[in-house]
Amino acid sequence: MSLRPNRTARIGDNALVTPEWLEDHLDTVASETPRIRLIEVDLNTDFYDEAHIPGAICLDWRRQLHHDTRRDVPSKDALGTLLGERGITDDSAIVLYGDNSNWFAAHLYWLLTYYGHDEVALLDGGRRHWLESGRPTTTREPSYTPRSYRASGPFESVRASRHDVERALSKPTELVDVRLPDEYDGTILAPPGMTESAQRGGHIPGATNIVWSANIRSDGRFKSTGALKEIYGARGIDRDSDVIVYCRIGERSSLTWFVLSELLGYSAVRNYDGAWTEWGNLIGAPIVTGER
C-alpha cells in the first residue's frame, strides 16, 4: 500500500479557506498564471451558469468525475487531462467549492488527495454561503491556456475497497455511515428525489450512523473544531481509530472524510467510494436493518 503524501503545503497552511480569504485573492484566481485555480463542482451545472465566483471553472461531477456504469474514479491520466485542459498544473493551488454543502467539491478534494495533489483546499460554506453573504459573482466563464498536469499516486491509504470493508468486519475498525437515518435502517434506499441501484437497504454490520450534516452549521459552514471533536468522540470515533466512512455513492462520505482527516487530523481514515450502491448489491454481503 502506498503511503499518503506529505500534506504540509496547503493554501495558507489550511485545508479550509474562508470566504474572506478567497475574496481577497480573486485577482490571483482570475490570472492567466496558474498559481491559484478555483473549481466549482456541481451535480447540476445550471447553478454555475446562473452565477459563480469570478475566475471559477466548472466541473460536472456526474459526467466528468464519476462513471455511472463502471462506478469508478477517473484514471490518473484522465484526471491529468481534465485538469490540464483547464489551465491547472500539478503545482497549482486548487480551491474547491460547490452545491449541496460542498458534497461534490469534497469528493474532488478526496480524489486529488488520492492522486497526490499537495496544495488543495475547500471553500468554507461552499456556493450557498458565498451567495447568501452577497459576495461577487459573474456569469462569465473564464478560459485559461492549457497546461501540463501530471498526477501521482494513487495513494491507496485514503481509499477503501469492498475487500477492505469485508476485512474490517473482523478487525478493530470503526465504520461510519453518513447517510440519513432512514437509509441507515433500510426504510429507504436513497434520499428523496435521488435514484438508487442497490437491491437491498440497511447498513454494514457495526457501522455507526453519524449523518454528514452533523458537520455543518445552519449557514452552511463547518462547525468549530471543538464541536466536531465532541460529535465523533461521543460516538467512540477517536483520533487513534482506524476509520472507514461510506454513504450511497461516495460524495457525502467524502465530506465526513474531509472533516476527520483534514480538520481533525485523524491519521487513518478511508473513504469507501463503492459505497452502498456496491455493498447493497453484493450477493451474500452481511446487512443489518431496523437499527438506529
- Contact residues for 43 (Cβ-Cβ < 8 A; gap 6+): 60, 61, 62, 99, 100, 104
CA dist 291 and 185 (Å) reads 5
CA dist 125 and 120 (Å) reads 16
- Preceding omega of 154 cis (within 30 degrees of 0): yes
Phi-psi region of 198 (alpha: psi -120 to 50; beta: other; left: phi over 0): beta
Residue 239 DSSP code: T
Residue of 63, 59, 50 lying closest to 140 (CA atoms) = 50
Per annotation, catalytic residue among 158, 247, 249, 255:
247
Contact 254, 110 (CB under 8 A): yes
Cell triple for 218? 445552519
Q: Does residue 247 have an active-site annotation?
A: yes
Catalytic residue IDs: 247
